Structure 1
Amino acid sequence: MHDEHAIPNPDESATPDDSADGTSRRAVLRTAGIAGAGLGLGSLAGGTAHADAPQGAPAAAQAPPRKGKTMVGVPFERRSTVRVGIVGLGNRGGSMIDLFLAVPGVRVVALCDPVKDKTAAAAKKVTAAGQPAPATYTKGDHDFENLCKRGDIDFVYVATPWDWHFDMAKTAMLNGKHVGVECPIALQLDQLWELVDLSERTRRHCMQLENCCYGKNEMRVLRMAHAGKFGDLLHGAGAYNHDLRGLMFDPDYYEGPWRRLWHTRLRGDLYPNHGFGPVSNYMDIN
């Protein structure tokens, strides 16, 4: 992200998501019903059927008609300083702030968490790094809305319990901010498509962040794939095996039992993108 503060003109954006034969990603998703079920999203789907979907297609596979031009391949605006607002200062947000502060040209200008002690501790990190004291938002669960309304933020980073991700990403874009959200970015398929449409309409980037794409092993394989060491990649497989029992019952790790509750509501892989994220990178998908 880098010196023009104006939102790009949608009419000037390229549409690289259409293949040479005119097939768009949405058209593929609209007809590939089995893909939605294979990703395990069907049990989370909460949307209604769209009128343009093919007859008999599963609800999990249906994609709404495009309302704007793709953001794939659209660069961030150039800025001499990238101004960041952080929402959620638990273990993920509280550790990510150290990385933001370590990047030259990045300034943390606002922090939000209803737990005041966490916000105060994060604010001390900002001033200790030599930056001005950040604005803090601690007045309840919806104070993030006031952070997003600020005129001096370019990028909102969201690291909160999953139930809040969709509303926070939507609020950030509606207020003209780019947004990066820890996984999962939303919990229902209709919410996912709404975020895609909103990103394309507002010309704001909406990124699902995926830490497992950037481990040393994953980056090694990515370099090897791009160097052609595996030839043409036609098939990939990924998984996520992680014994979370120690963390789930650690009172100092999570603020309340919110994450543990998800494992009582659903069975299966709750982080499928940990597996398919790196594989998508190897295959240059999006």
Structure 2
Amino acid sequence: MEYRTLGRSGLKVSTLTMGTMTFGGGGAFSAVGKTDLDEARRMIDLCIDAGINVIDTANVYSNGVSEEIIGEALGGKRKGDVLIASKARMRIGKGPNDEGLSRYHLIRECERSLKRLRTDVIDIYFLHEWDGLTPLEETIAALDTLVAQGKVRYVGCSNYSGWQVMKGLGISDRHHQPRFVTQQIHYTLEAREAEYELLPISVDQGLGVLVWSPLAGGLLSGKYHGVSAAQVALAWLLGRPAVSSLVIGGRTEAHFKDNIAAASLVLGDEERTRLDVVSRPPVLYPYWHQQFTA
């Protein structure tokens, strides 16, 4: 397993991250899959044995059950150097303050996540999505409080647009508050919109990139190097600028094993070029105009 430095932090993360959206299989994510405690234990051990050192979850996955299963599976103790990443922002209840990125909601949900995970610190805490109703200054200040209290080590954002990422970084820099060290984005061979702004921002601002749902469906067919199309899609992503880690999941141990194998696959320059060409997105304005002077 390869390890990469996460952005401008000193934290080393494995190129594959264990995704746990299927853990519990309840709520809005019931259609994704259902992984019970015993199977979760086996999958966690499988990933750790393969060298994966990051487990990704969120308070909203199965309404908190995913975090509970992780806490139960780890027995309240970290195995080796396992890092835990979680998120908050989505609706988690019926109350008026049960969603968003207000100081109230963010601090409360972090504390609830810590209890469910049976740990005293979350290594990477993501803002799960943009909240246009809460001043970003309030949100960044709340993250500052959580870091100062030792409840969170690093902070990041997820599903933000380019200007939203830059606004957050600007607030952090002006007020000397914790800066995003990573962003978690959707990026596949079939969906390369992140290349317009999010990846260039990551390179320019020193953000590590975690990719959620990294598998392209239907684009690749057949076998390359005697491995699955899914492994090729993952290997292509690991060669993209600023990408630190891919969040992989699986309904079964077999799915996880297949995805884990991508960590050792290296694509040649010609193969990578062919994949780039066949999946290249259209060039939008103002980028096509800037090509004239690039």
Q: Normalising by structure 2, what TM-score?
A: 0.32
Q: Which has the higher strand share?
A: 2
Structure number with bigger Rg: 1
